[in-house]
Structure 1
């Protein structure tokens, strides 16, 4: 195991997000997308110019991802919606459930959106993981998760990684070209005291990077489940991570401050660790 990357972190976006989440590099626009779930905001950040934008949503927003034709797809409290390039809003799939909200989401190699939900009270089995296609087709893949969180795919698309946070595990599934998953088994289990697995990303070498809620760290695991790198940051509530920049070599880390009695000054900001790895290109939503 190698450590010491904590000394190299910088602040990409200084903010006080309640629940910063879902960093995603948008290569077409050369910018980073991220959300403040509870603050109901979608943020963008252009590292080359420093330009930032903020769009307020009418509901809690779990994730925002680029669409192949421009615009964004949003995982919202009451379902999944589309933002067109001109800013027009429309629902792709609306399914409000009292006491439930959207959480993390990711786009699979085939362009489908995998969108997670959870209950506000985090009741066991109260959340779901569903797969949505660009025409609005939806299939619930996992109906009884608790806090649906990080998702990612191996570079060849044959494996899907997934974290249901309270299980303390990152699981791996076999994934086929039709978007069917099977053979769920643990990749790693996070030991007590180290935090809980939250958002994740998969790099060009097939290694899994997972943010640890309550752990103030991002860990990289090999495809065999071996821990080989720890990136420590002073914000205890690390929520998710993604590679960005022109060469996909900068690791962006979102953080939160919700529930903290004395947040660290960088809690709620987006942090960046330059040159710590090499990400894989992420597909846009095919809708």
Structure 2
């Protein structure tokens, strides 16, 4: 495995949510507190930055072009080229914002929220259908973060950061019929995959590789960890940033692991805090679906 490189030198306050956009051959990531959506094309080095009207927790590609964004007050849609903004779902709650999000194998968006002050139980995880129908999957969440699915789609992994746990659910127990969703059995299947011990940071964003292993960024832990499907710690990668936030495989062969980072709350930030990092040849990722809405 090669050493960590700096893909994009940046000073993001809270870099998050890297996602490989296969159709466009680019990486999408956000600066939540900077209200910016960034793109980066590794082949050409081309970069773009788009301002959003609110704090933006995540940005994911749409099947017909454009982006779906998890904003402070709900879910928004941008058309191709970043224009024609409209709300798909607007549900403002004082003191709460959108956080990490992921697109499920069926093309629905799973979007998390969290309270700015991290009040316990003040956040949630919801499933948003392409038509904007929303189903709360998990309530009583504090910092809704990494979400991802196993290669065969039968398992879903999830992080509520303050618990220090990576949890796993049986995705096939989610009952979707005639436009209604019953998540009771899904919630009942929740169990611990792994726990990050005190003094090693907090689990944040995650991605699942083609081997079914879970990579998780450790906020305040200056590292990435890879866990096997059985929950065994398989690999630790030390990083030159104290607050890595999330990771995603990208590049034409999905073998390079991109890592976002934050500088918010740090005294005397190191030179690379807030940059987009890359670990070339880290493994083999999975192509991520686009939002069908």
What's the TM-score bracket when you normalise by the shorter of the two chains?
Answer: over 0.9
CA distances 1:199-240 after superposition (whole Å, capped 9, x unpaired): 000000100000000001110000000011111111000000
Of the candidates 38, 42, 45, which is equivalent to residue 40 of structure 2?
45
Partner of 2:60: 65
CA distances 1:6-39 after superposition (whole Å, capped 9, x unpaired): x700000000000000000000000000000000
Partner of 1:251: 257
**1:262 lines up with 2:268 in the alignment:** yes
Task: For 1:270 and 1:91, locate their aligned partners in 2 and report how far apart those are by CA, in whole Å.
Answer: 29
Q: Secondary structure of the residue that 1:234 maps to in structure 2? A: coil
Q: Secondary structure of the residue that 1:8 maps to in structure 2? A: coil
Task: For 1:76 and 1:144, locate their aligned partners in 2 and report how far apart those are by CA, in whole Å.
Answer: 20
Partner of 2:289: 283
Task: For 2:197 and 2:48, locate their aligned partners in 1 and report how far apart those are by CA, in whole Å.
Answer: 38
CA distances 1:120-157 after superposition (whole Å, capped 9, x unpaired): 00000000100001011100011110000000000111
Cα offset, 1:264, TM superposition: 1.0
Task: For 1:231 and 1:256, locate their aligned partners in 2 and report how far apart those are by CA, in whole Å.
Answer: 17
Where in structure 2 are the equivalents of 1:194-209 lying within 5 Å?
194-209=200-215
Structure 2: gaps of 5 or more residues: none
Task: For 1:247 and 1:231, locate their aligned partners in 2 and report how far apart those are by CA, in whole Å.
Answer: 21
TM-score by length of 1: 0.97
Of the candidates 9, 16, 20, which is equivalent to residue 14 of structure 1?
9
Partner of 2:191: 185
TM-score by length of 2: 0.95
Partner of 1:229: 235
- In the alignment of these two chains, the number of paired residues is 282
Partner of 2:129: 133
Task: For 1:77 and 1:63, locate their aligned partners in 2 and report how far apart those are by CA, in whole Å.
Answer: 10
Q: Secondary structure of the residue that 2:119 maps to in structure 1? A: coil
Of the candidates 240, 258, 280, which is equivalent to residue 246 of structure 2?
240
Over the residues paired in the alignment, what is the CA RMSD in angstroms? Answer: 1.0
